[in-house]
Structure 1
Amino acid sequence: MREASLPALPRFVPEPEDIQPGYELLLEQRQVRGAPVRLFTFPGGSQDASRTVLCLPGLGASGRSFAPMHPLASEYRLLLWTPTLQTPLTHTPLQWNLASLEQPDAGLPERFALVGSSFGSLISIAFALAHPERVKALVLVSPVASVRRVRRWALVLSTLVRMPKPFAYLFAPTVARVLGGRRLPPEGRAEIVREARRLSPLELLRRLQDILSANYLEELERLRVPTLIIQGGRDLLVPHSYARDVAARIPGSRLELIREASHLPYMSHTDAFNAFVGDFLAQHEA
């Protein structure tokens, strides 16, 4: 399926047709609760539904941001979920996405593993708390469970992506570099910038409000799902001390630090990230 075109952008921001090398994936658009959800999969990847791993991206990103996980696609059925671009005002984005994952028309198996990054980790935590019987294993990347431990200045910085033209085009690559870190490849930065521009300022604001109002810290001890937490040592949004706190509150959880990574280790340090996730899933996904 070809994605809908957007208005012409300056050439340093790739258009939808200009998918970066390594990010070419199969796209399926599903109607879930009457709203379009984009679902990306790997060409030639596993189709074994019993080994499904659902990946939920961070704020403003699409499921395609998980494309560097392709080495795991031969072993696991990786479904790269992209929340609807416009959440109905009847629900918060968190409420809507949580309810969407619960719906039969989401097409998810009865049990699956979850990988959630940043805002996606917030959805993953909420889903695992509500439906622990459906989650085989849980991977939280740069976890967001309470804004009390998130650096608010970095959240404010992320809103620069949504500044009015032409300022947004000047600042968006800088924001992508800050969140992705020095080791994020140019094609990864381009993917983050391009996808972020699809999100309306109102939708971004509403997702930020979900993060600012989140507080699952006291509930984490109820999680009885095998959990791996992966944190970047240079993350400017979620401090390492916060990831340690989250790990300490989830019984039996495992914390892995990628010291040179920032907020998007699955895009910047793919070998280390995939090794940690592959080892964890091999132990707990079955």
Structure 2
Amino acid sequence: MLETVTAHPPRLVPAPEDIQPGYELLLEQRQVRGAPVRLFTFPSGSEDVARTVVCLPGLGASGRSFAPMAPLASELRLQLWTPTLSTPLTHTPLQWNVAALSHPDAQLPERFALLGSSFGSLVSLAFTLAYPERVRALVLVSPVASVHRVRRWALSLSTLVRMPKPFAYLFAPSVARVLGGRDLPPEGRAEIVREARRLSPLELLRRLKDVLDADYLEALEQLRVPTLLVHGARDTLVPLGYARDVARRIPGARLEVLREASHLPYMSHPQAFNAFVGDFLVQHFS
């Protein structure tokens, strides 16, 4: 199933509900532990299971936000995982997603690489600490390992995306601009806004609580998985100093800083991001 672009007259800023050019991806919906999970893949992408990379998006984004990683799809089997829009109340969203990734319903190979952005980095860390034997390599983008180093005002700002209409339409593009930085293209901004509006206020608050409760800093020294961190120097949510601290705590970790990027470097600066991530992952799949 291919999600396609809705035809509309040209405009300066695309409507958030549209799927933008460059973000058209194949969609598969899997039932994992009784809940629907959307999995996006690239048309004509690699089908080599041994080179699988599972990409986990940020707080209110979908796997489609990783569409600018398309140049890597010929060499890597990129699986753009989107957590279910509503996790069961029996688990926190973090707990549910870790359990879902490890469940046979997920249909993931025995070993794969993980790439997590923001909230997705929190899920990636929790999964890797629980199942280190399944993770071949780890990429953390704008890492969240402890809320003590995340700017709470930015977390509060992100909740504006969920305000009722017409306030959401007034504030959501500004929130996306803050997260994406000045170089985030209009198509990327529309993608973030459109997907965030699909998430219920309850689910957003539950994911925010996971972020606020997180504290994995001391556990990072246990990681023995090849790890790359990619961080935007202009990130207003997660300070650069925090990414450096996380990198220092993970044995052998490497940190690459994109000076002009903000919280979503794979969307705003895909060429530099893909160069770092592609070289790292190909090396660890060889």
Q: Which residue of 2 aligns with 1:52?
A: 52
2:44 aligned partner, one-letter code: G
Q: Hey, what does 1:143 align to over in structure 2?
A: 143
- Cα separation, 1, equivalents of 2:99 and 2:281: 25
Query: Structure 1 counterpart of 2:260, which letter?
Result: E
SS of 1:54 mapped into structure 2: strand
| Structure 1 equivalent of residue 93 of structure 2 | 93
- Report deviation, 1:251: 0.1
Matched, 1:13 2:15: yes
For the residues of structure 2 that align with 1:207 and 1:145, how far apart are their CA atoms?
14
Aligned-partner residue type, residue 258 of structure 1: L
C-alpha distance in structure 1 between counterparts of 2:64 and 2:84, whole Å: 14
Query: Which secondary structure does the structure 2 equivalent of 1:115 belong to?
Result: strand
Q: 3-state DSSP class of the match of 2:54?
A: strand
> Which letter maps to 2:124?
S
Q: Deviations over 1:149-205 (max 9, x none)?
A: 000000000000011221011000000000000000000000000000100000000
| Partner Cα separation in structure 1 for residue 90 and residue 150 of structure 2 | 27
Q: What displacement does 1:257 show?
A: 0.1
Structure 2 CA distance, aligned partners of 1:21 and 1:129? 37
Tell me whether 1:230 sits opposite 2:230 in the alignment.
Answer: yes
Count of residue correspondences: 277
- Maintained 8 Å contact 2:14/2:20: no
| Correspondence list, 1:102-113, <5 A | 102-113=102-113
Decide whether the 8 Å contact of 2:2 with 2:26 is kept in 1: no
Please give the residue correspondences for 1:184-223 in structure 2 after superposition, counting only pairs within 5 Å: 184-223=184-223
Quick one: distance in 1 between partners of 2:14 and 2:283? 42
Structure 1 stretches of 5 or more lacking a match?
A: 4-10
CA RMSD across the alignment: 1.1
Contact 1:25 1:40 in 2 (8 A): yes
Instruction: Report what 1:76 is aligned to.
Output: 76
Change (3 A) 1:2 1:285: closer
Partner of residue 126, structure 1: 126
Q: Where do 5+ consecutive residues of structure 2 fail to align?
A: 4-12
Letter of the aligned partner of 2:281 in structure 1? Answer: L
> Structure 1 CA distance, aligned partners of 2:268 and 2:259?
12
Following superposition, the deviation at residue 142 of structure 1 comes to 0.1
The TM-score, its normalising length taken from structure 1, stands at 0.95
| 1:202-259 deviation per Cα after TM superposition (whole angstroms, max 9, x unaligned) | 0000000000000000000000000000000000000000000000000000000000
Q: How far did residue 37 of structure 1 move?
A: 0.2
Which amino acid in 2 is paired with 1:210? D
Residue 75 of structure 2 aligns with an amino acid whose one-letter code is E
Q: Which secondary structure state, in structure 2, belongs to the residue aligned with residue 203 of structure 1?
A: helix
Q: C-alpha displacement at 1:13, in angstroms?
A: 3.4
State the AA in 1 paired with 2:250: I
Check if 1:247 corresponds to 2:241. Answer: no
Map 1:58-69 to 2 at 5 A.
58-69=58-69
What do the CA deviations read for 1:78-113 (whole angstroms, capped 9, x no partner)? Answer: 000000000111110000000000100100000000
User: How far, CA to CA, are the matches of 1:270 and 1:168 in structure 2?
Assistant: 28
Contact 1:13 1:193 in 2 (8 A): no
**Partner amino acid for 2:259?**
R
Task: Measure, in 1, the Cα distance between the counterparts of 2:69 and 2:2.
Answer: 22
In structure 2, distance between residues paired with 1:211 and 1:112: 25
Whether contact under 8 Å (1:61, 1:192) holds in the other structure is: yes
Deviation of 1:285 after TM superposition, in Å, equals: 2.7
Cα distance in 2 for partners of 1:31, 1:23 equals 23
Q: Which runs of 4+ in 1 moved over 2 A?
A: 11-15
Deviation at 1:57, TM superposition (A): 0.1
1:118-154, CA deviations, whole angstroms, 9 ceiling, x for partnerless residues?
A: 0000000001101111000000000000000000000
Q: How big is the shift at 1:14?
A: 3.1
> Helix, strand or coil for the counterpart of 1:84?
coil
Match of residue 7 from structure 1: none
Aligned equivalents of 2:209, 2:67: Cα separation in 1: 28
Q: Name 2:10's counterpart in structure 1.
A: none
Aligned-residue identity in percent: 82
